Structure 1
Amino acid sequence: MYAGAQISLHPMSADFVSVIMNALGALDPYRERMRIETDDISTHLSGAADELFPAMRDLFAAAAATGEHVVLSATVSRGCPGGAGEPEGPEPAFGMIEPLSANIDACLTAVSAAPVLGQTVAAQFAYYPLGENRHMDGIEACIAFLSRSGVLDRPKNFVTKLRGDAGPVFETLGRSFLCFAPAQAHVAMDVTVSANSPSAR
């Protein structure tokens, strides 16, 4: 299954070039398994859907570790019919299962096992399961998962806000992306993550 992301990293620093270039090194362990291309606007990642958010986590955590205010913006998609020619990942071992409560329990287990990185982040995202008649069932189950995830900050207009350690936050984002629509469904997500913001102080 095709899955990919276009991600842009925005360090609020006079030394933004080195912050970005050094952080891109965090993607090196994924390069054998993923297509990774960087241009002057964004970095494209594609490959197995369940590796997208760990790769984004490691990239962002490396940039945030500088102590600079850093923002990551991403558009993430799986099952896109416009993904022709992209590398196929393995058959998905994820997707919405019945009963929906089983999805929630499995996702909560994954979040509780997520690595703790010692970097606090805030994130907001919008989730779009496309072309599925029962999409509201999945969205409602995802909301129930988020309410028990331990990183829910609050719902906002058009988005949901998360706050906590980068490990559980990115795991929560990834599980929301993977587990609340059928495995072969087209799913899109808009994500913004921020660390070291002066607003939080």
Structure 2
Amino acid sequence: MECGLSPIIGFRFSLYPMADNFVEVIKGALSETDTSNVWMHTDDVSTVIRGKQIHVFNVAKAIALSAAKTGKHLALSGTFSAGCPGDTTGDVYLDKSDEIANRDATKQYVSSQFALYPMNNPMYMDIIYKEVDRAKQQGVFNDSMHYASGIHGDIHEVFAFYEEAFSNARSDDHKHLVMTVSMSINSPSHGGR
């Protein structure tokens, strides 16, 4: 399959509720989210969702928000990927319309970190700096750090930034992109945000 800017993308993630009923929180978030627009598989370590970019980001946000609504402190760690050679499982989901399935607008503070890896692009640092500058302009930038950049704010603004960064970091000449994301939600260190 030829990799272009519109093929399947994926997100492999693990959700870590800091609670005795962690299984209930994880399974509840997965079952309460409408995943009909993505291919999904869960094993004993992580979950992967695959499909159109608009749906992958919508489902990822919905799962995080559903888990967050339990009030439990939780962490989410995952990797978005696009343009990976041979990445075709779940192609049937590319025929879905762009109508998103999950529309919960509940406000939720998120503290997170991300790293962009534009594969085979010699101008990768320019791309990364451009997205960090855009985060500052949008008011979601939190901090510079080794190997990542801090992003925080309402979950809807944070995911919107991540989806835009993912789109902006790809080009026709450099289609393979990886973006890692780590999130902390409902942490006592957030001071009640």
**TM-score normalised to structure 1 length:** 0.80
Q: Is 1:134 aligned to residue 123 of structure 2? A: yes
Matching residue within 136, 150, 153 for 1:161: 150
- Once the two structures are superposed, the pairs formed by residues 109-120 of structure 1 within 5 Å of their partners are 117-120=106-109
What residue number does 1:9 align with?
Answer: 15
| Preserved contact between residue 116 and residue 166 of structure 1 (Cα < 8 Å) | no
Moved more, 139-148 or 121-130: 139-148
Matched letter for residue 71 of structure 1? A
Q: Is 1:67 aligned to residue 71 of structure 2? A: yes
Q: Is 1:188 aligned to residue 178 of structure 2? A: yes
Return the alpha-carbon distance in structure 1 between the equivalents of residues 148 and 92 of structure 2: 30
What residue number does 2:49 align with?
Answer: 45
Return the alpha-carbon distance in structure 2 between the equivalents of residues 141 and 67 of structure 1: 35
Matched letter for residue 193 of structure 1? M
Matched letter for residue 70 of structure 1? L
Matching residue within 34, 39, 55 for 2:38: 34
Q: Is 1:87 aligned to residue 91 of structure 2? A: yes
Return the alpha-carbon distance in structure 1 between the equivalents of residues 39 and 61 of structure 2: 17
| Preserved contact between residue 39 and residue 93 of structure 2 (Cα < 8 Å) | no
| Preserved contact between residue 135 and residue 181 of structure 1 (Cα < 8 Å) | no
Task: Give the superposition deviation at 1:7.
Answer: 1.0
SS where residue 148 of structure 1 aligns? helix
Return the alpha-carbon distance in structure 2 between the equivalents of residues 61 and 188 of structure 1: 23
Task: Give the superposition deviation at 1:61.
Answer: 0.5
Distance 1:88 1:78, change over 3 A: farther
Matching residue within 178, 189, 193 for 1:199: 189
Matching residue within 21, 27, 38 for 1:21: 27
Return the alpha-carbon distance in structure 1 between the equivalents of residues 92 and 116 of structure 2: 22
Percent same amino acid among aligned pairs? 32
Structure 2 unpaired stretches of 5+: 1-6, 96-102
The number of residues matched between the two structures is: 177
Distance 1:73 1:156, change over 3 A: same
Structure 1 unpaired stretches of 5+: 92-113
What residue number does 2:59 align with?
Answer: 55
